Each structure stands twice: as structure tokens, then as C-alpha cells.
Amino acid sequence: MRELNYLDFDLLVEPAGPGIYRARAMAPAGETASAQFTVPFSDLEIDNFLLRIGRPRRAPVRGEQSMEAAAVREFGGRLFDAVFRDEIRVALATSLDQAEGRDTGLRLRLRLSDAPELADLPWEYLYDRSARRFLALSEWTPVVRYLEFQGRVRPLAVRPPLRILVLIASPTDFPGLDATAEWEKLHEALRDLENAGRVQVDRLSGGTLGHLQRQLRRDDYHVFHYIGHGGYDAQVDDGVLILEGANKRGQRVSGQDLGVLLHDHRTLRLAVLNSCEGARGGRADPYSGTAQSLVRQGIPAVVAMQFEITDTAAITLARSLYEAVADGYPLDAAMAEARKAVRHEPNPVEWGTPVLYLRAPDGRIFDVPSDAAATASTQSRIPAPRSDKPAEPSTDPEYTAALAAYFTERWDEAVDLLTRVLARYPDHPQVTERLAYAQERRQLAAWEAEARQAAEQGRWGEAIAALEHLAAARPDDSQIVQRLEVARTQHKITGLQADLRRMHAAQQWTAVVAVGEQLAGIDPELADPDGLVTEARAELAEAALAERYRTGLLQLDRGDLTAAAETLAAIEAERPDYGDTAALLARAREQQPAEAAAEQQLPTEETLPAASPSEPEPTMPHPTTIVEVPRRPRRQRWLAWSALITCGLVVAISISVGISGGGVLISLIWALPFFVGWLLLRSRPRIGAVVIGILAVTWTVIAVAALSTGEAGNAIPWLALSIPTALAAVVLSVRVIWSRSR
């Protein structure tokens, strides 16, 4: 039988936002890739799919063209396309090529602990449309759900037969289960393996925890196989198995309680749960659920059902699984063989019902010698020939050679020789002990060689995996711990540098600088590979300069000359030859005096307080040019003189009217409002013009009244006042309107 080895492709799923997840892949060569995705199904679609394929079939589902088979392909294809996209798909294709080049398989390890709500999805149906195959159906690409815990899981050396303990529980207060018929089906399915000496199947005499505890105390077993009812209890947030209690009524046993019992039996490496929802867990706790609890309690591997499964499929699965394990297959490869056996019944749906949970870093939970199956088969069917072997291995020449290899640390040779010696002296304690030690040392040497080679070639992911095995086996070895930390640091640096190069190729300059800062925090000497971070900073600076240049142009365009001059001057100080900065700056400075003059032009007399003759006329300073205040326009001066002449005429007429009428004081009092209006013109032009206008109207009304009564003598003075006053009001109003329009 060929030896199956695997590279690991870890797929970690974690939340990235409401309804959004991030998939991160760690490939065998140490590359990391990530992509965001959303679940490609609505809750209703998931429920409909589970109802279609997750209930026991009353009639067999036959053929790849059945509706159920098409639904499985569609579901698995959509899930694969949603998760394995962009960088993740490239990393998977590269890893598959790498595994094929090494003649190894690629184990897909799903790590869903950070997103337990996704564990209810049947990931085992992942379907690659381009390759037209399900990943989990191939022994070259097994799919396992990996739960990582502290502590190393060592392969258990097993000489056939593989010992299986079966517990069948049929409580009277639950739907009837024919325990005898279930046992006969399983026993009949494994009869050939039993006759060949490859497995031994023992059934408990009762279905209680007490029966299980007593039997485990009396003998060692490798596999625990449960047949019965099960489910998930949301109140205790754990899966439960329904065992038999008092009066054969149902007793709910949590996965944690069962795990505590099984934990103490170190030869027990595998639990197979043929019950409903044995693989189901909570949506908040990734370790709730029967299978997950057993793994957490130290069982290296658990096979559980995520849906109900028919008896025919369950029997086929068990027979093929145990046969492959007895043949020395790693458990994940054996699981792929069992899935194919179910599918070939034909049953194109239920092969995805079982879920394999692993806490072991690989599927080698048993170490079955390559010649063990053949030896067991021969021993079971052919009478043992006479042998001239010595009575004790100490006088056996092959044992002597084995000891020589053992003490000189030639572990491969020692394991081969001791395996052959143990075949002739079964259960010999010294040979068994030395074989186990040699196997352990051989494995350590293999991990050491793998770690060194991977580190030398920069394959830090593989180096980390090998060093983690070594650290678990030698937790007190400070050198291994230090090498593991170095490998993790180098792996992080390699990943960040790869991300930096991708961001640089995409011209994401800000991201390049950010990744460079992360690298600088780890190792400043490696923070700028090939000058990419320096180039990114230069690109960002150039983009900022271009934006400032554009801002200066926009300021020029809208006439904001002062701001434009400041912006362009700063650019010229930094880069004198940048674009047309020099010419634009000169233009802005040339236009600034005119702008300053326009802004500093003196207002009219009505809006300025009277200036003292000794005060100098205000001017607008400029760094290089003194701008003189322009003189008032000729039209403005004419209007001012017109108003002044009119005012003088009104005063003269008022005095003359007073002299002729004998009331100079009264005339001056009448003229006083005119002077008030004229003074208001300096600070409140519109109010002053209105006051003078009112005076003109008032004096005109008095004159008209005098004429109407026949007193022409009295009317003439008032007309003499009203006519120039009205003229003054018109002239001043025109001046106010003209000033406002300016």
C-alpha cells in the first residue's frame, strides 16, 4: 500500500462586518491570501436545501441527474465560488500544483472557530465547477474541520486488530430503535474484517454510562461507536446523546460529560456518532455540540452526522471507514474512501452527511505498520508455520541489528527492524517500548529535517508547522521555542512583503506606506524591500504637489490673487521648476496691485468721516509697490460742488426772506432742517436726501396755500425757498443713487 502524506491548506474564516466575512488562507509554501465574501444563500434557501437533503430518504436517490444530486452540486458550487475567489483561488491552485509535484495530497483544514454561525453550512459539499469534482470525495483533497487546542496528539501504534466498542442505546420513551437489528447490520458489515483479523467489534451489554465505564476499565479500545438518538440542547449550549437511564428511560448525556469519561482512555483515538445532529453546534460557541465537546476533551478525531442518515448509508460508511483505517490510511484519507463508498451505492447525496472533526494536526491518529494487514490476514486464514525463531528476542540476530540501529539513532532502520521483530514476538514489552520510542524519535527527526529545509528555502508556513510539532513534543526546549518565534516572525514579514508588492503593483501608495510602517515595527532593515516604500512616498508627495498646483490655478481663475500667490510661492520654494509655477506666480503678483487699489479706493464723502487737513491721504502698502489713491472722478466732484452751491443759495434766500419779512430768526429756524439733512448726507445719504425732499415739499405746499388765499407777497419767499431746495433734493438723490451703483 502506498503511503499517503499531505500538505495543509488552512482556511480561516472570521467576521469582517455585518453579514460580511473574511477568508484567510495559509498555503503550504507560507503564502497568505485573503478575500471578503458574503454567504451566497438566503436563510430560506439554506432551510429548503437542508429539508431536501437532510431528512431520511424513504426511497433511494439514484443517479447524478436526480434533483437532489443537482441541488448538492449547485449548493457546493455557489459556496466554493463565494469563498475561493481572487487571491484565495490562486493560492489553492498553486498549492494543488505544489502537492502534485511532491506526490502528496492537499488537506483542506476549515477553521471556523471565529465564525461559529457558519459551522451549520454543509462545507463537505464544496464543489469546484471548473474541475467538475467535489473536494471531499478525493483522498488527495480531503476536507476536515480543524479545532486547534494545546497539546500534541501522537499517533498510536496499533497492531491489528483495530478494536471497536459499540454502544447502542434504545430508551423506551423515545422513538423505537431495534438495537438487535442495528447490531446485526453493523456486525455483518464488519464480519469480513473480523475474520481477517483486522478489526474486533465488541458490543456493550447495556446502553448506559455505567456499562461504558466498566468496559473501558476492563479493556483497551481504539474506537468508540455510538448508535442512538441525539440532538442539540440550546439551554445547556451543548450537544446531547440519549443513553439509557433508570428503567431504560432516556438519559440526556452532554458531549462534555461523555468526553470526561472517554478522556481517561488514551488508546481511544476515534469516536463515531451515528445519531441525529451529532455535528451540530451553537451559533455563538464554536466548541458547543457533541462532536466538538469530545474533541475539546481530548479525543483526537470525531466523525458525526450533520443530518439524519439512512441505515444503509451508515453501515456502508462504517465498513469502509474501518477497513481503510485498518489498512493504515490516515483518517482523513479513510474518510474520503468511506464517502466514495456511500456515493457508489449509488447514493449521490448522503456521502456529505458525515463530518470529520480533528484536533490532531494531521489525520495520522493510528500508526498501523504497512505489513500489519497482510500479517493479520495470513495469520487468520493460514495455520502458523513452524518457526525456528529463538524463544526470546535477545538471541534473535535481527533484534541485535535493531538494537545497533536503535543506539546509533538510525531511526528509520530501527523502526523497520523492530517492527519485524515485534511481528514474531507479539506484545513483548521491551520490543514494544523500544519500537514506540524509535517511532517517536523518527517522527521528531523528520519534523526537524522538514523544519530546517523549509526555513532554508523560505517556506515559513511549513517550517512553523514542523516546529509546532517539535515544540509540543519538547515544550522545555528553549531553542525550539526560539526557532518557532523566529519562523513566525519571518512568516509575518514574508506575508507583509508579499502584500506590499501586491499593493505596489496596484499603485495603492497609501497602503504600501502603511504596510512598510508595519514592517519597520518588526525589522527596520526589511521595511523597504527594493525601495518600494520610498517610491510610494515619492508618488504620494508628487500627488500632493500636483493637488496644490491645481489649487493655485483655481485660485487664480477665481481672482483670489493673494491666496494664489501664497500657494504658488510655497510650491516654488519646494520645486522651482515645477510646471509653470514661476510664470503663474509672477502673474499673480503683477495683478495684486490693481486688486489692492480697487479694494482700497476711497468711498464718497457721504460714507467717510471728515478728515483732518493735517492727516495724510491713506495709501495701500505693498511689499514692492506703493499704490497711490486715485482721485475722485470729475462727475463725482461736480455733484459735490452742485450740492454745496445749492446749500449756499438756500441759506442766502432764507436770510433775504427774513430781512424782507422782519423775521430773520424764523427763516433761519425754517432753514435749520435743511442743514440737518445736509449733515445726514455725510453719514446717512439716503436719510439726508429724504429730509431735504420733505422740506422742499413742505415749503411748496405753504407757497401754494398762500397763493390760493391771494397772498402773493407771502407766497414768493416760500417759492424762493422750495425751488432750490427741491433742486438740491433731486441733485443729492441722483448722487446717492450713483454712489450706490458704484
* Boundary residue ending a domain (146, 178, 206): 146
| Domain annotation covers residue 429 | no
* Boundary residue ending a domain (146, 164, 188): 146
Residue 376: count other Cβ atoms within 10 Å of its Cβ: 21
Grid cell listed for 453: 529545509
Q: What angle do CA 568, 571, 577 make, to 5 degrees?
A: 105
- CA of 604: how far to CAs of 480, 619, 620, 736, in Å? 92, 16, 17, 10
Whether residue 140 is found in the same domain as residue 107: yes
| Domain annotation covers residue 399 | no
26 Cβ neighbours under 8 A, 6+ residues apart:
8, 9, 10, 12, 32, 461
Q: Outline where DSSP puts E strands in 56-96.
A: none
Domain containing 104: what range? Answer: 6-146
| Domain annotation covers residue 508 | no
Whether residue 699 is found in the same domain as residue 583: no
* CA-based R_g, the chain, Å: 49
Whether residue 141 is found in the same domain as residue 160: no
| Domain annotation covers residue 725 | yes
Answer with the residue of higher pLDDT: 50 or 59: 50
- Model confidence over 666-682: pLDDT tens digits? 555 556 666 665 555 55
Region 73-78 average pLDDT: 94
Whether residue 271 is found in the same domain as residue 131: no
Looking at the structure of the chain, the number of domains it has is 4
Answer with the residue of higher pLDDT: 593 or 215: 215
| Domain annotation covers residue 607 | no
- Model confidence over 224-239: pLDDT tens digits? 999 998 888 777 777 8
Separation CA 130–CA 82 (nearest Å): 14
* pTM of structure: 0.53
Three-class DSSP category at 620:
strand
Separation CA 567–CA 546 (nearest Å): 12
- CA of 246: how far to CAs of 208, 217, 250, 622, in Å? 9, 22, 8, 105
Whether residue 183 is found in the same domain as residue 138: no
Whether residue 558 is found in the same domain as residue 695: no
Confidence of residue 463 (pLDDT cuts 50, 70, 90): confident
Of 563, 643, 617, the C-alpha closest to 595 is 563
| Domain annotation covers residue 616 | no
* Boundary residue ending a domain (146, 179, 199): 146
For the chain, give the mean pLDDT: 80
What percent of the chain stands above pLDDT 90? 22
Judging by DSSP bridges, how do beta strands 238-244 and 250-254 pair with one another? antiparallel
| Domain annotation covers residue 627 | no
Q: Identify the CATH number of the domain in which residue 187 sits.
A: 3.40.50.1460
Whether residue 211 is found in the same domain as residue 358: yes
Q: In which residue are the cell numbers 482523513 written?
A: 332
Whether residue 262 is found in the same domain as residue 207: yes
| Domain annotation covers residue 414 | no
Assess contact for 40 and 78: CB atoms under 8 A: yes
Whether residue 278 is found in the same domain as residue 334: yes
Helix intervals (H) in 506-623: 509-522, 532-557, 561-574, 581-600
In the chain, how long is the greatest CA-to-CA distance?
172
Separation CA 724–CA 657 (nearest Å): 14
57 Cβ neighbours under 8 A, 6+ residues apart:
310, 349, 350
Whether residue 86 is found in the same domain as residue 224: no
Separation CA 401–CA 434 (nearest Å): 13
| For residue 27, pLDDT beyond 90 | no
Whether residue 205 is found in the same domain as residue 327: yes
Whole-number pLDDT of residue 379: 44
Whole-number pLDDT of residue 649: 61
Whole-number pLDDT of residue 334: 92
Whether residue 722 is found in the same domain as residue 642: yes
Whole-number pLDDT of residue 77: 95
Cα dihedral 90, 96, 102, 107 sign: positive
| For residue 574, pLDDT beyond 70 | yes
